[in-house]
Every structure is written in structure tokens, then in C-alpha cells.
Amino acid sequence: MIRGRNKVVHECITRSGGLILPSLEHIAACNTLQIEPTKNQVQDRESGSTPDADANKASADSLDLEALLAGDDKAFEQLVIQESPRLFRVIVRILGDDNEAESILQETYLQAYQRMDTFRRESKFTTWLYAIGINLARASLRKSRRLSSLEDQEVERLQPTFSRGMFVDSPVEWDPGKMAELSERQRLVHRAIDKLPDDYKTIVVLRDIEEYSTDEVAKMLDISSGAVRVRLHRARGALRKLLDSHFRTQRA
Amino acid sequence: MKIFKIIKMMVGLSPNCEKVNLFLADYVDGTLDDKTRKDFEEHMDMCKCCRPYLNQYKSTIEMAHECDDVKVPSELVEHTMAFLRRNSDFPRS
């Protein structure tokens, strides 16, 4: 069920393919580059299968989906054992607070347990579980007002700028020496990710850190795959810019 | 040869930096079709701006992936199961 502002946002994304509308340049680029369906899309079409159908098979293999949906307690406990570490990591990264993340994780399993009959097999069961957890985490973030420091418009300003299709500021290669120290690098990247607006941060966590597929992330967040791709690209562009001043080679 | 490629780009027969930039994510994911990937790589070979940008874009992804350092509490599962027992009818059987 999508209500209020979320419904408006959801409809906007569904219609536009992205919360931030793809630019005219993007459409023009698609025309110029004669974009074909991606390899994954072609494979899905040729095999006659859908990613969701395959995903549920895999889910059933590892989790015994039928037992889970039939209310088997052991199957539910197995779900908690199997998914808790990864789901906890995702929630911690969204919230930045271990104690709150543990509470949200527990609430996620409680809601999943009580709402099991609302699972419609339209996605992997774990995708559905993560969607509950992510929604609860983001609601908690809004409630506690631990908001990210950047606004959506600032993400836009962190993207590269072009004039007549060419870079306005030429990127300077990063210095491997400055990137060599792992703990310092992790500190800088952590700080940069934490600055991203909630929507962008969540997508970076799910795609680039946890390496879920674009389609899985789209289902977890209830947005289109196109919207995931657009936001991920902009999030990476913003992160690149935030890190640039730390890693760039000094010009001679 | 290089001049020819630059002229192609200037008259719009091959993608410019801005257009190439829009397809970085698909390039990194390996989901561009062959023709687009060829155009993309041809541009990268001759462009002094896009090559470092692509390197930085890839480094950003790799460094984000390295941020896999959350410590999971050892009693997480135990606490969760106890919470379920306290707040629901678990276990039903």
C-alpha cells in the first residue's frame, strides 16, 4: 500500500522512469547511440523466463519458501539466521546507528511474520523482507531527523558539467599514493556516502556495497529499474566529486 | 585517423563526452550492446577528459564496495528470536 506523498513520488517515478526525470540529452544520447536492449534483457526474453520466477526458485531452494509460507516456525527461524547479518548491515548503513538498526531489524521480522499472507510471489521472498526493513529504516530516519547533509539539488550540482558536449573542467587523474591508505580511504568514502540524500545513499548501499541487481533494488524500493540506474549514476557522480579534492594529483 | 574521429564526434556521428557520460553505469555493468560499447571505447581512446573520469568512476565504485566493515552483533539472531517470542505468537507449533 502506497499512501500520501509516497504515492505521488511512486507515480512520478513510474511515469517518468526516474524521480529525477531523464534529461532530453539522455533521450538524445539514446537515439545517437542506438541503444539496444541490455544483454540481461535479451537473455530474459530468449529464455522465456522472468527474473522474478527464477528468483523465487532460488529463494525456495535455500529457504524452503513453501514451508515458510505455510507458517513453519523452523523455516522462519532459518530465515532469521540466514538473512539477519546482511539485512542488519543494510539497515545500519541507512541509519548510521547500531542500536536503532537492531530494533528496526527485529521490527522487520515481526512485521514479516505477521504479514506473511500479504506476500504475493511477485518478487523473491527476501526482496520483500528487505523492502519492509528498508521502509522501516527510512521512516525511522525521517522521524529522528537524522537527515543527510546534501539535498537532491546539491547532488545535481555535483555532477560534471558540459559545454557543447565537452567537459567544462577536465578531470585530473587521482593520485594512487593518496588512495593507498585503506583506513583513511574508508573514512573518506564513508563520510561521502553518509552525506548523500537518503534515496541515493540507499541505492549505493544496495547496489555497490551489497551488490544486489538493479531489478532487485527496484523491487525493494518500489521504483522502476530505470530510476535505480539514473539515481545510482548520479550518486556515483556525486561521490566521485566529493572524493576528488582528496585524491586528485596536484597540477604541476 | 584521430582527427577523423574528432571530426566525427564534432558533427555528431559519434558520441561526445556528455553522451558517453550517460552510459558509464551500463558500460561498467557490461550491459551495453556491441555497437554502443565500440563507440564508447573509441571515444575513451581519444578523449583526455573521459578516460580519467571513467577511472575515477570505477575507483569510486570499488572504494564504496570496500566499505563492507559493519560489525554484526554476535547475539543478533538470539535477540531477534526472543523479540518475536515476546511480541507475537511465535512459535505457533
Task: Write the DSSP string, A85-153.
Answer: HHHHHHHHHHH--HHHHHHHHHHHHHHHHHTGGG--SSS-HHHHHHHHHHHHHHHHHHHHT---S--HH
The pLDDT value given to residue A59:
45
Question: Which 30-89 residues of chain B touch chain A by CB within 8 A?
Answer: 30-33, 35-36, 39-40, 48-50, 52-53, 55-57, 59-61, 63-70, 72-73, 76-77, 79-81, 83-84, 87-88
Tell me the CA end-to-end span of chain A in Å, nearest whole number: 58
Q: Which residues of A217-238 are buried (b: 16+ CB within 10 A; e: fewer)?
A: bbbbbbbbbbbbbbbbbbbbbb
- Report the alpha-carbon distance of residue A219 to residue A240 in Å, rounded: 26
Interface check A239 vs B, CB under 8 A? yes
Does A199 or A56 have the greater pLDDT score?
A: A199
Helix (H) / strand (E) element for B20: namely helix B17-21
Cα–Cα dist B35/A145, whole Å: 47
Q: Boundaries of CATH 1.10.1740.10 in chain A?
A: 50-146
Instruction: Give the gap in angstroms from C-alpha B44 to the nearest C-alpha of chain A.
Output: 13
In the prediction, which pLDDT does A63 show? 84
Residue A235 in contact with residue A200, Cβ under 8 Å?
yes
pLDDT at res. B93 = 73
Confidence of residue A39 (pLDDT cuts 50, 70, 90): very low
Reading the block at residue A108, the C-alpha cell is 522487520
Is B92 inside any structural domain? no
Is the predicted pLDDT of residue B24 greater than 70, yes or no? yes
Instruction: Among A15-19, A36-40, A213-217, name the most confident range.
Output: A213-217
Which residue range is the domain that position B28 belongs to?
2-87
Q: Which fold has domain A50-146?
A: Rna Polymerase Sigma Factor; Chain: A (1.10.1740)
- Three-class DSSP category at B23: coil
The pTM (predicted TM-score) of the whole model is 0.79
- Is B93 domain-assigned? no
Q: Which of A26-40, A56-70, A93-107, A238-252 has the lowest mean pLDDT?
A: A26-40
Q: Are A115 and A105 in contact (CB under 8 A)?
A: no
Every domain range in chain A assigned CATH 1.10.10.10:
149-252
pLDDT of residue A149: 74
pLDDT of amino acid B28:
95
Instruction: Classify residue A210 by its DSSP letter.
Output: S
Give whole-number Cα distances, A111 to A117, A219, B24, B93, in Å: 11, 18, 39, 19
pLDDT band with cut points at 50, 70 and 90 for residue A42: very low
First to last CA, chain B: 76
Closest-CA residue of chain A to B19? A29
- Per-chain mean pLDDT for chain A: 80
Number of domains observed in the structure of chain B: 1
User: Which single residue is written with the C-alpha cell 539522455?
Assistant: A26
pLDDT tens by residue, A115-174? 999 999 999 999 999 999 999 999 998 888 766 678 889 999 999 999 989 999 999 999
- For domain A149-252, give the CATH number: 1.10.10.10
Q: Cβ–Cβ of A105/B12 closer than 8 Å?
A: no
**Closest-CA residue to A228 (of A39, A18, A41):** A18
Question: Which of B 2-21 lie inside 8 A of A, CB atoms?
Answer: 12, 15-19, 21
CA–CA distances in Å: residue A27 to residues A133, A155, A161, B19: 35, 21, 18, 10
Q: Which of A58-72, A100-114, A174-188, A232-246 bottoms out in mean pLDDT, i.e. has the lowest?
A: A58-72
Whether B37 is in a domain gets the answer yes
Report the pLDDT value the prediction gives residue A249, as an integer from 0 to 100: 83
